[in-house]
């Protein structure tokens, strides 16, 4: 029996050495609740930097599943923190968005398109650009270093760009995103970029994976005016009809959030990118919202042309509140 155990142990040690288990590995990974940009960015870094293994710190959503399957790319490995490993951080840099317990010494570099919000104690490899998508930066880096971007990687990176820029309709979209998307589409042999983008975004409509808490929190901001505290979140979609099916679940999340965070009311903007308008879903005092935008029906109101929280919601709501408070 002991002999068998020793043989198995020996085989195990050999396998372990063969695969470098226990050695320091280098992984690239994107943020928590990874989106398509985070997953495809991790794969792109593995082409850019030698010895880097694409990874992720969360589940693959249906949109990303569609992109990975369409372009025959294997799923990045799911990882948990290990002090032994080194990491490239992509599509995120803040401590809240990264793997738990990450030490600065484990960071080999950061490639990101978000605001730099990490406090560091020494010089690091940091590359950030204010572009609509992290894959745009990575494509530029791959092109600059003349690294071959094959048809499948190009298609997947294009998918990430179309997703992150919401088919070029997000306000963060830049000319560089469009230019790089054009180059990638050419490599991937995709003729109608918009049509492809719509296919990708439609996958996010799969309500099986729709997580109301996550969708509400994803882009939620709090405001205060005249002593009134309120919150405004925003979901961008290409499939308002599908999202409608989840409305009762979302409203419950909003009610709980309003109570827990002592807010007077919450407006969730469900913005339809294709129809270019927003349905407002409202909990709490509807009077302010009705005075600003019109009568609610079932706690909801469609406003044609409304896309921007900053320009088309907050100033209007603040004005109504200020008038009410002054009277």
Binding region for a second copy (CB under 8 A): 112-117, 120-131, 144-145
Least Å from the CB of residue 16 to a second copy:
31
Q: Which two tokens stand for residue 219?
A: 């882009």
How big is the CA angle at 211 (ends 205 and 215), to the nearest 5 degrees? 80
What is the full DSSP assignment across 124-190?
--EEE---S-HHHHHHHHHHHTT----HHHHHHHHHHHHHHTTTTTSTT--HHHHHHHHHHHHHHT-
Least Å from the CB of residue 233 to a second copy:
20
In this complex, which beta carbon is closest to a second copy, that of residue 28 or of residue 267?
A: 28
Least Å from the CB of residue 47 to a second copy:
16
In this complex, which beta carbon is closest to a second copy, that of residue 1 or of residue 144?
A: 144
In this complex, which beta carbon is closest to a second copy, that of residue 35 or of residue 279?
A: 35
In this complex, which beta carbon is closest to a second copy, that of residue 21 or of residue 116?
A: 116
CA distance 98 to 34: 10
Least Å from the CB of residue 212 to a second copy:
28
CA distance 65 to 159: 11
Query: CA-CA distances (angstroms) from residue 146 to 48, 140, 193, 239?
Result: 10, 10, 24, 38
Least Å from the CB of residue 294 to a second copy:
33
In this complex, which beta carbon is closest to a second copy, that of residue 131 or of residue 216?
A: 131
Least Å from the CB of residue 128 to a second copy:
4
Cα atoms in the Cβ-side hemisphere of radius 13 Å centred on 151: 6
Least Å from the CB of residue 310 to a second copy:
13
Q: Which two tokens stand for residue 121?
A: 């104690």
Which is nearest to 199 in space by CA: 71, 69, 67?
A: 67
Least Å from the CB of residue 260 to a second copy:
28
In this complex, which beta carbon is closest to a second copy, that of residue 61 or of residue 163?
A: 163
Alpha helices of the chain — where are they, by DSSP H?
Answer: 2-18, 36-48, 62-70, 134-144, 151-164, 175-188, 193-203, 212-217, 240-244, 247-260, 286-293, 309-312, 314-326
CA distance 159 to 77: 20
In this complex, which beta carbon is closest to a second copy, that of residue 129 or of residue 150?
A: 129
CB atoms within 10 A of CB 111: 25
In this complex, which beta carbon is closest to a second copy, that of residue 118 or of residue 257?
A: 118
């Amino acid at each position: 029996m002991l002999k068998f155990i020793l043989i198995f142990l020996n085989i195990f040690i050999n396998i372990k050495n063969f695969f470098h288990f226990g050695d320091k590995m280098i992984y690239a990974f994107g943020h928590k609740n990874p989106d398509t940009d985070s997953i495809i960015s991790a794969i792109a870094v593995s082409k850019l930097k030698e010895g880097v293994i694409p990874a992720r710190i969360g589940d693959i959503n249906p949109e990303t599943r569609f992109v990975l399957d369409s372009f025959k790319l294997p799923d990045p490995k799911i990882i948990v923190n290990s002090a032994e490993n080194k990491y490239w951080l992509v599509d995120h840099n803040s401590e809240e968005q990264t793997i738990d317990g990450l030490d600065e010494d484990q960071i080999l570099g950061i490639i990101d398109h978000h605001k730099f919000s990490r406090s560091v104690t020494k010089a690091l490899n940091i590359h950030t650009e204010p572009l609509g998508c992290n894959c745009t930066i990575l494509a530029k880096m791959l092109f600059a270093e003349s690294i071959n971007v094959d048809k499948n990687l190009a298609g997947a990176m294009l998918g990430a760009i179309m997703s992150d820029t919401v088919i070029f309709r997000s306000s963060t979209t830049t000319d560089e995103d469009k230019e790089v998307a054009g180059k990638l589409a050419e490599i991937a042999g995709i003729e109608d970029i918009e049509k492809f983008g719509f296919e990708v975004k439609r996958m996010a409509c799969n309500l099986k994976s729709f997580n109301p808490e996550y969708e509400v929190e994803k882009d939620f901001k709090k405001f205060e005016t005249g002593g009134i505290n309120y919150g405004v979140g925003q979901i961008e979609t290409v499939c308002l009809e599908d999202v409608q099916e989840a409305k009762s679940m979302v409203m419950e999340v909003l009610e709980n959030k309003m109570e827990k965070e002592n807010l007077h009311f919450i407006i969730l903007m469900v913005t339809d990118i294709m129809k270019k308008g927003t349905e407002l879903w409202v909990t709490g005092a509807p009077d302010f919202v009705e005075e600003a935008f019109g009568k609610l029906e079932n706690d909801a109101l469609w406003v044609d042309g409304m896309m921007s929280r900053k320009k088309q919601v907050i100033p209007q709501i603040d004005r109504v509140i200020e008038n009410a408070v002054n009277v």
